[in-house]
Structure 1
Amino acid sequence: MASIPPVNCYITRDSSEGTVIEDTRPITAPQGPSIQVSYLYSALPTPSLVDDADLKHHLEVSKREHQVAFPAAGSSSAAILHFAPNPTGDEGFMHRTNTLDYIFVLEGEAAYSVNGGDHRVVNKGDVIVGRGGWHSWKNLSKTEGFKLATVAIGAEGATENFLEVPKP
């Protein structure tokens, strides 16, 4: 996959001097040959800001080998996904999670397809609210990357990092 600029993440925290901004470097991991994910933050249901409890949880999760891409019921996670240029026009893979996803297209153009045959071409500035349905992404550019930001909230009954793919 082509070199992708690092993502900077800034987290605010209250201190004895007032609110401060801390620079963090999200954990970035490849997801196959053409997708890279930068995990920004994860929180438990009803996050507590008292004594930085939510931040402590996030820092503990960030030490794990596998980050929380798809949260458990009531929990949330945020990430940025980078899709490499698609010179051969490869299709994306159909999958679903048990999450409510707020997806913001940051760069590029992609086809967002669902298993009922419907699809939309999405561009910078478009927003998708995904509600646990089957879907796939396909970068439509042979030469440019595609980037999106997402906030996922675990739906009722969701388990951490559940990802379903079609049965053969």
Structure 2
Amino acid sequence: MNSDVTPSPGVRVVVTAHDEEGTSIVHSDRIHQPFIPFGLGGSSFSIFDTRSSVPVNNQDEPQDLQNTIPRPEPAGVMFCIANMAPHYRSLMHRTSSLDYCAVLSGEIVLGLDGGEERTIKAGEMVVQQGVNHVWHNRTDEVCRIAFVMVGAEKVKLPNGQELGETLIENSSDAC
């Protein structure tokens, strides 16, 4: 069983820009090491780019966010990957963002707080609109997911209640 969630030796990220005359150039070309806040048996994150607002300024310097859990600015956007270890289950959580998710390898179960589940396999996508959810890798292989996260307004229920970010530690009944 492969339980190491770190991409080895890291993820290559090539960033382009312009020189003073407007010619396209490679700004940087480096190996990005993952952030592993939950240990090797959990998940790791690699944030490749984040911008504080949209539309973006393509002349801004990319920010270095190597040791951060992915969360975009309220009016911003973020591009990252997550690696979910075999048999790892995240906590139930909600981000205040619209998340475009693409499973690159492996498979993952998306569990919602209402009890619904969907298995998402390599090559399949999720459009997630600020819902409470868990990610559960029920396989013996690492699951790699690419995310583009766009800051969003809070979900507002008909009664006026706004749904903000959550982190629910005791959510075993949902997945």
Counterparts of 2:72 and 2:57 in 1: how far apart (Å)? 17
User: Quick check: 1:27–1:40 contact (8 Å CA) kept in 2?
Assistant: no
User: Is it true that 1:32 corresponds to 2:23 in the alignment?
Assistant: no
Is the Cα–Cα contact under 8 Å of residues 45 and 69 in structure 2 kept in the other structure? no
Q: CA deviation at 1:10?
A: 1.1
Which consecutive residues of structure 2, in runs of 5 or more, have no partner in the other structure? 156-163, 171-175
Q: Does 1:44 align with 2:37?
A: no
The 3 A distance-change label for structure 1 pair 17 and 96 is: closer
Preserved CA contact (<8 Å) 1:95 1:134: yes
Unaligned regions of 5+ residues in structure 1, if any?
Answer: none
Q: Partners of 1:73 and 1:12 in 2: how far apart? A: 25
Partner of 1:100: 98
TM-score by length of 1: 0.80
Q: 1:119 aligns with which of 113, 117, 120?
A: 117
Instruction: Kindly state the Cα deviation for residue 74 of structure 1 after the two structures are TM-superposed.
Output: 1.5
- Offset of 1:4 from its aligned partner? 2.4
8 Å CA contact retained: 1:73, 1:157 = no
Q: 2:143 aligns with which of 141, 146, 156?
A: 146
Computed over aligned residues only, the root mean square deviation of the Cα atoms, in angstroms, reads 2.4
Corresponding residue number in structure 1 for 2:7:
4
Q: CA deviation at 1:26?
A: 3.0
2:79 — aligned with what? 78
Q: Secondary structure at the match of 2:93?
A: coil
Verify the 8 A CA contact 1:68 1:77 in the aligned structure 2.
Answer: no
Q: One-letter code of the match for 1:23? A: D
Identity of counterpart residues, as a percentage? 22
